[in-house]
Amino acid sequence: MPKPRYLTKSRFKLGMECPTKLYYTGNPLYPDKSIDDPFLIALADGGYQVGELAKQYIPGGHEITSTIHADAERETMALLQQENVIIYEAAIRFESLFIRIDILKKEGNRLNLIEVKSKSFDSADEDLPFLNTKGALASSWKPYLYDIAYQAHVLKSAMPGHIISSYLMIADKAAKCPTDGLNQKFRIRRDHRNRKMVTVDTALSAADLSVPLLAVLPVDEYVGMIWNGAGTDDFIERGFEATIAWLAEAYAKNEKIAPSPGGKCRDCSFTCNDEELQKGLKSGFRECWRETFNWTDRDFKEESVLALWDFRKKDEAIASGKRKLADISEDDLGLKGDEKPGLSRSQRQLLQIKKSRSGNTEPYFDRENLAAEMEQWTYPLHFIDFETTINPIPFTKGVAPYEMIGFQYSHHFVERDGSVRHAGEYLCAEPGVFPNFSFVRALKKELEVDKGTIFRYSNHENTVLLAIYRQLAASENPPKDIADLQKFIVSITHADDNKGLFWESPRNMVDLWYLVKRYYYDPYTKGSNSIKYVLPAVLNSSDFLKQKYSKPVYGASSGIPSLNFRDWKWIETDDSGIVKDPYSLLPKLFNDIDEKNQALLLSSDEDNLIKNGGAAMTAFARLQFEEMSDYERPEIKVGLKKYCELDTMAMVMIYEAWREWIY
């Protein structure tokens, strides 16, 4: 019997992103470039752990474990015959709409629907975060509120005559974890069928649960708004109920809803590479653009407006027929300078367009302004990069949900004469250890030896250090050297965060990412300024780097000192002479994850710098949860160190190429 094609919660969410995606999803002809390993997803966002923690706060429920729709539904309906009952993963169906409710609490005629999410709010703030200042639904909360509104609709339809109340259960950032090791008591594992599961440690105690880290927030008001089409434009065309019926019918009949391409297509995961196309697989993206705009293979060879860096008017441009990068004019960009050295945002966009129009692949390099910047740098130079994580369930006592954890850094050092060495690193991945204070202490020791300029790539390192500054200030048992650690943080950061911290140190870290955006553009990056794109571009265009790093000098006895590499060559070329991405030369971080998911985990996303460290975050989580052999644990640590070392070496190589072009 064919599997029923129900509109589940996740399919409803997908349909709200783009209705056409419902046709491509699950169809093996259309590859989906999103991470689909449930174990990785569980490690990355902590959502499954939060679900288990929620059950501890609302105990005594019956868990529906069957994954067969009909069995799960039957079991749920039998339990709902009781006057009062709590059901975890309740399976509710109305016609072709099917949901699993995280926690369903029946009290007589009342059904309390509780959706557990790995999101957070701060109960110390006066207002709930769901509405914006104009009284409309806040965009960051819309997907979660739509999800509950959908579930409440299905529940109301399936259980007429009941009063439905909806709640969101999310982490409260104002709560402090009462005990050590709480996170590790909710262990994520793979089961024998390679699915993710969470096991709760039998040592979980009343003390562990004495401070609720999750809050239950009533959301009926927002569900009502969505049902009535208020506070959002997303249901203007059909209304909420009719939208659900429309999506459900198309999915049930496996009919494609006509695409309406726009800026959203930039992140569409239904794409194919040439190799996949040759194998007969199909690109959902190409199909949509062909159908809607009559694009041919030749059109796809040109860059589309989706590739234009930081362009916020993609929807308007596409709707007005300007679908190629070359179509965008100065007026579309609102071209203007900003009276700072280098390229403004719109000037950089125009540069990208002009290079694309003329087919000019030469890098743009603002020698004069970058030389002026370099004149201000103090040697030796330090290049640092942090790996961090945030987790809804804290690892240690006194820590709030989603507090920043800095567990790894790498540090490269460059002398005035150009000599380079990997000067230091830190990695704390021992289960249950809060590393932040020892992390910053180790960094301080390495950076306070001189007054050299320090470089980061993006604002992340500044954000992390300010978070640790606040954690030190709030600590109930601060370390003896708290004053020294805070003074050090102030000395290398800037603070202007509307939370009472204001300073700008003379040794404030220099943001190499900012310098890239102002003074350097290589068409090879395709408009991305992520270091994962800029590094291969620089390696391909710098003869100096090619010559230097095509020899095994890195980690060689008379070459560049490295803490993790021996006799390593950063430059390898493919058959057409293009330098391979150095990250692709590193050993796989995980042996039990397929290549597609591994590549996605390592892929970068300029807009989401946390995601940039996805592989490291996942490795950290695995080291926290998994019972590993004496072989596996050191292997993952070695992998983590190599990846982080390349992050700072990448910064050094960008610096070396620039210096060589200037002098």
Using CB under 6 A, list all residues that contact ligand SF4.
18, 20-21, 259, 261, 264-265, 268, 270, 284-285, 288
Q: Which is nearer to ligand SF4, 295 or 437 (CB)?
A: 295
In the complex, what is the shortest distance from the CB of residue 304 to ligand SF4, in angstroms, rounded to a whole number? Answer: 11
If you search the block for the tokens 């995961």, which residue do you land on? 269
Instruction: Name, in order, each residue with C-beta under 8 angstroms of 238's C-beta and a sequence gap of 6 or more.
Output: 246
In the complex, what is the shortest distance from the CB of residue 529 to ligand SF4, in angstroms, rounded to a whole number? Answer: 24
Q: Which is nearer to ligand SF4, 179 or 292 (CB)?
A: 292
Long-range CB pairs of 354-358 (<8 Å, 24+ gap) are 355/521, 355/523, 356/302, 356/303, 356/325, 356/326, 356/523, 357/325, 357/326
Q: Which is nearer to ligand SF4, 286 or 580 (CB)?
A: 286
Read out DSSP for 492-560? T-EEE-SSS-EEE-TTPPEEHHHHHHHHEE-GGGTT---HHHHHHHHHHH-HHHHHHHTSS-BT-TTSB
Tokens describing residue 319: 């709707």
Q: Which is nearer to ligand SF4, 107 or 315 (CB)?
A: 315
In the complex, what is the shortest distance from the CB of residue 525 to ligand SF4, in angstroms, rounded to a whole number? Answer: 23
Q: Which is nearer to ligand SF4, 25 or 49 (CB)?
A: 25
In the complex, what is the shortest distance from the CB of residue 35 to ligand SF4, in angstroms, rounded to a whole number? Answer: 17
> Distance (Å, rounded) from C-alpha 411 to C-alpha 405?
18
Q: Which is nearer to ligand SF4, 268 or 370 (CB)?
A: 268
Asked if residues 475 and 485 have their Cβ atoms less than 8 Å apart, the reply is: no
Helices (H), 448-492: 460-474, 482-491
Instruction: Name, in order, each residue with C-beta under 8 angstroms of 132's C-beta and a sequence gap of 6 or more.
Output: 138, 139
In the complex, what is the shortest distance from the CB of residue 261 to ligand SF4, in angstroms, rounded to a whole number? Answer: 4
> Distance (Å, rounded) from C-alpha 391 to C-alpha 405?
8
Q: What's the chain's Rg over C-alpha atoms?
A: 27
Q: Which is nearer to ligand SF4, 113 or 268 (CB)?
A: 268
> Distance (Å, rounded) from C-alpha 165 to C-alpha 221?
10
> Distance (Å, rounded) from C-alpha 54 to C-alpha 47?
11
**Type of residue found at 409:** Y
Tell how far CA 361 is from the center of its chain: 30
Q: Which is nearer to ligand SF4, 266 or 569 (CB)?
A: 266
Q: Which is nearer to ligand SF4, 261 or 452 (CB)?
A: 261
In the complex, what is the shortest distance from the CB of residue 553 to ligand SF4, in angstroms, rounded to a whole number? Answer: 45
In the complex, what is the shortest distance from the CB of residue 527 to ligand SF4, in angstroms, rounded to a whole number? Answer: 18
- Give per-residue burial for 311-339: e unless 16+ CB within 10 Å, then b: bebbeebbeeebbbbbbbeeebbeeeeee
Q: Which is nearer to ligand SF4, 267 or 450 (CB)?
A: 267
Tell how far CA 569 is from the center of its chain: 30
In the complex, what is the shortest distance from the CB of residue 314 to ligand SF4, in angstroms, rounded to a whole number? Answer: 11
In the complex, what is the shortest distance from the CB of residue 429 to ligand SF4, in angstroms, rounded to a whole number? Answer: 37
Q: Please, is 525 exposed, middle or buried when counting C-beta atoms within 10 Å of its C-beta (0-12, 13-18, 19+)?
A: buried
Of the CA atoms within 13 Å of residue 161, those in its CB half-sphere come to 2
Q: Which is nearer to ligand SF4, 293 or 377 (CB)?
A: 293
Asked if residues 306 and 314 have their Cβ atoms less than 8 Å apart, the reply is: yes
**Type of residue found at 279:** K
In the complex, what is the shortest distance from the CB of residue 267 to ligand SF4, in angstroms, rounded to a whole number? Answer: 8
In the complex, what is the shortest distance from the CB of residue 22 to ligand SF4, in angstroms, rounded to a whole number? Answer: 9
In the complex, what is the shortest distance from the CB of residue 332 to ligand SF4, in angstroms, rounded to a whole number? Answer: 21
Q: Which is nearer to ligand SF4, 268 or 467 (CB)?
A: 268
Helices (H), 305-344: 314-319, 330-333
